[in-house]
């Protein structure tokens, strides 16, 4: 079977070190971006299930340890709840120290905020890769195209054949690099935007959960607005109040 003198195979076979390096770089960028997209999408799905558990099973328990246990391990909402419990115990055990000048409310707020920020950092991990790929891949492909056209024109000038069939092939092959750059950048950009929206949703739910925990620790019950949103009403908040210091 006769091999076509044009296309990706011809571009690779006729390309020099620069063209091949650009092609390999674009492939590596594509693999990296798809890896981040898939792993972060799975992470967001896992966190969404955790958010559902935090909004239902957690508040149906009779104690904070039991509520945290229902969330399971490696659950960001369990980490936030555990941070709140630890801050209450630490503040109660170190009365009279310098940090006791902070009220219980401020101390719990700082601990919950730190825990939420740590989870937010996990959500943001890898996003810079997608942003970088989405913004630079088209220019990497364009560089390959410019270099390929230059290389093709030099070869044509050296051979002395400037007919359209001699020019169209090499130049068209060089333009493939721009198409490859766009093929890498477009999924990375769409993936980045989708993941950012997912991250914002998770962070908003974490902040709401932290607000409910803060209200429970400080006032002894969840906020009235949050309790009214729960299908079982405010009784769930009362269940946890009795042993909130546990």
pLDDT in tens, 99-112: 556 677 777 788 88
> Which of 42-46, 83-87, 88-92, 133-137 has the weakest average pLDDT?
88-92
| CA gap 83, 117 in Å, rounded | 12
- Nearest residue to 119 via CA among 91, 83, 87, 86: 83
Predicted local confidence at residue 40, as pLDDT: 93
> In the chain, what percentage of residues exceed pLDDT 70?
72
233, pLDDT greater than 50: no
151, pLDDT greater than 80: no
Q: Please, what is the Cα angle at 83 between 81 and 87, to 5 degrees?
A: 120
pLDDT in tens, 164-217: 666 666 677 778 888 999 999 999 999 999 999 999 999 998 898 888 888 887
> Which of 103-107, 108-112, 221-225, 234-238 has the weakest average pLDDT?
234-238
pLDDT tier at 231, thresholds 50, 70, 90: very low
Predicted local confidence at residue 107, as pLDDT: 76
Residues 6+ apart with CB under 8 A from 161: none
> Which of the pair, 208 or 53, is modelled with greater confidence?
208
pLDDT in tens, 67-115: 777 777 778 888 888 887 777 776 666 665 555 566 777 777 888 888 8
Predicted local confidence at residue 35, as pLDDT: 96
| CA gap 89, 108 in Å, rounded | 10
Q: Which of 59-68, 120-129, 216-225 is the most confident on average?
A: 120-129
pLDDT in tens, 6-41: 555 666 666 677 778 888 999 999 999 999 999 999
Residues 6+ apart with CB under 8 A from 156: 162, 166, 167, 170
CA distances from 221 to 51, 175, 212 (A): 20, 64, 8
pLDDT tier at 222, thresholds 50, 70, 90: low
> Which of the pair, 233 or 124, is modelled with greater confidence?
124
Q: Which two tokens stand for residue 68?
A: 């945290």
What are the helix (H) ranges across the chain?
Answer: 8-14, 17-55, 64-71, 76-93, 104-124, 127-159, 164-219, 224-229, 235-241
Q: Which two tokens stand for residue 46?
A: 């896992």
């Amino acid at each position: 079977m006769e091999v076509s003198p044009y296309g990706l195979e011809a571009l690779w076979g006729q390309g020099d070190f620069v063209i091949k390096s650009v092609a390999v770089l674009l492939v590596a960028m594509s693999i990296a971006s798809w890896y981040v997209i898939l792993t972060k999408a799975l992470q967001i799905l896992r966190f969404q299930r955790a958010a559902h558990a935090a909004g239902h099973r957690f508040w149906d328990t009779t104690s904070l340890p039991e509520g945290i246990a229902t969330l399971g391990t490696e659950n960001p909402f369990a980490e936030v709840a555990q941070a709140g419990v630890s801050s209450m115990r630490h503040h109660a055990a170190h009365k009279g120290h310098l940090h006791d000048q902070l009220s219980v409310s401020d101390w719990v707020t700082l601990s919950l905020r730190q825990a939420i920020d740590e989870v937010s950092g996990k959500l943001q991990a890898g996003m810079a890769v997608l942003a970088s790929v989405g913004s630079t891949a088209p220019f990497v492909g364009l560089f390959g195209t410019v270099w390929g056209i230059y290389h093709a024109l030099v070869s044509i000038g050296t051979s002395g054949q400037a007919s359209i069939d001699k020019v169209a092939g090499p130049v068209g092959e060089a333009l493939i690099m721009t198409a490859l750059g766009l093929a890498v950048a477009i999924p990375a950009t769409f993936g980045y935007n989708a993941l950012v929206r997912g991250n914002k949703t998770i962070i908003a739910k974490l902040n709401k959960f932290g607000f409910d925990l803060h209200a429970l620790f400080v006032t002894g019950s969840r906020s009235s607005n949050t309790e009214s949103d729960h299908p079982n009403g405010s009784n769930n908040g009362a269940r946890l109040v009795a042993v909130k210091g546990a």
